[in-house]
Amino acid sequence: MSEKFDLAIVGGGTTGLFAAYYATMRQMKVVLIEAQDQLGGKVMQFLPEKMIYDIGGFPDVSGEALVEQMIKQAKRHKPKILTGDFLEQVDKIDEQFRLVTAKGEEILTKTVLLATGTGAFHTRRPEEWNELPESSFKTSVPTTLMDMDSYQGRNVIIASNNKVGINWALYLKEMASKVVILNSNDTFLQAKQEELDLLAESDIEVHFHARLYDFLLKNDDKLSHVVFLNEDGHKETIEADKVLTHYGLELQAAPFEKWGIETTKGRISVDHLMKTNMEGIFAAGDIVQYPGKTTLIASGYSEAITAVNHAHLLIDPGTTEQLYSTVIYR
């Protein structure tokens, strides 16, 4: 038997997370579905280490720290949160929606909020990844730069063929003991000359045509060395405490057309109440389009509030359009 909700939020980026808090603050029963294993959307994918300066109340905050606070806030009233599961199907049945995820989870909900951003980004691994021996270490190698303190004074190996790998290396060289880039190609994709020059001037070690071969672990399962095949196909072993990879991203867009949601150039057109063309389905954040739309974190917050309030009104037409949190928590 499927669990029933007032609101299903699709996407656990900053917009979806804030919507989850706001809707549960308004006592709605909420489920949030996020395709990635981690919450935080684009902010965690592209800018966890960067400082953000245009969020009200935070003179400066790193992407990772912002998302950490947002998750804490979103969980305050305990919404159901599903991660690592992509929403595939949306059907309207009588006055409610039946949602089905890739993992076969079935959800019944009175309203839906699409906070999908431009879609779910999945990270690629280097070609040789599948040939590496299976280990729990292999599956836990990060594909974003987070938890910065853990790189302090460490030997860091970055397996990457693109500009992200260069930028991580340039950023980490200040705090790490040593930074080595293993690039299985002979160039860095999308890298600007300026980035290549900074890399060349730095003491970062770069190996081209270098293919990962093995991870050597200590008795406590922590990393001790990385083995790679060099340009001549010979094995080389380097000391390593941390490994990161970035071999590009693949975008999995939500199948809006199949769900009956109208889009223009990939974006959902909404009215001033964040309503889509389908009664009961709202949208907010980077995925929406309306005159004057800005793709900023703060715009997503405001749009989430409008969408949630009007989803609430749809379910309970007698309710107030908005409430002050200072009144709710009196």
49 near ligand FAD (CB under 6 A) = no
Closer residue to ligand FAD in complex, CB, 119/142? 119
Least Å distance between CB 114 and ligand FAD? 8
Least Å distance between CB 194 and ligand FAD? 17
Closer residue to ligand FAD in complex, CB, 9/243? 9
Do 312 and 113 touch, CB atoms closer than 8 A? Answer: no
Which of 227, 278, 296, 313 is in the footprint of ligand FAD by CB under 6 A? 296
Q: Is 128 helix (H, G, I), strand (E, B) or coil?
A: helix
97-100 contact pairs (CB < 8 A, 24+): 97/8, 97/280, 97/281, 98/2, 99/8, 99/10, 99/33
Q: Is 149 helix (H, G, I), strand (E, B) or coil?
A: helix
Report the relative pairing of strands 120-123 and 249-252 from DSSP bridges. antiparallel
Do 235 and 227 touch, CB atoms closer than 8 A? Answer: yes
* Alpha helices (H) in 100-191, listed in sequence order: 136-139, 163-172
Contacts with ligand FAD: how many residues (CB under 6 A)? 34
Distance CA 14, CA 43 (A): 8
Q: Is 253 helix (H, G, I), strand (E, B) or coil?
A: coil
70 near ligand FAD (CB under 6 A) = no
Which of 109, 116, 167, 263 is in the footprint of ligand FAD by CB under 6 A? 116
Binding-site residues for FAD, in ranges, read: 15, 34, 42, 87, 121, 286, 326
Binding-site residues, in ranges, read: 15, 34, 42, 87, 121, 286, 326
Binding interface with ligand FAD (CB under 6 A): 10-16, 33-36, 41-43, 46-47, 52, 54, 86-87, 115-120, 254, 285-286, 295-298, 300
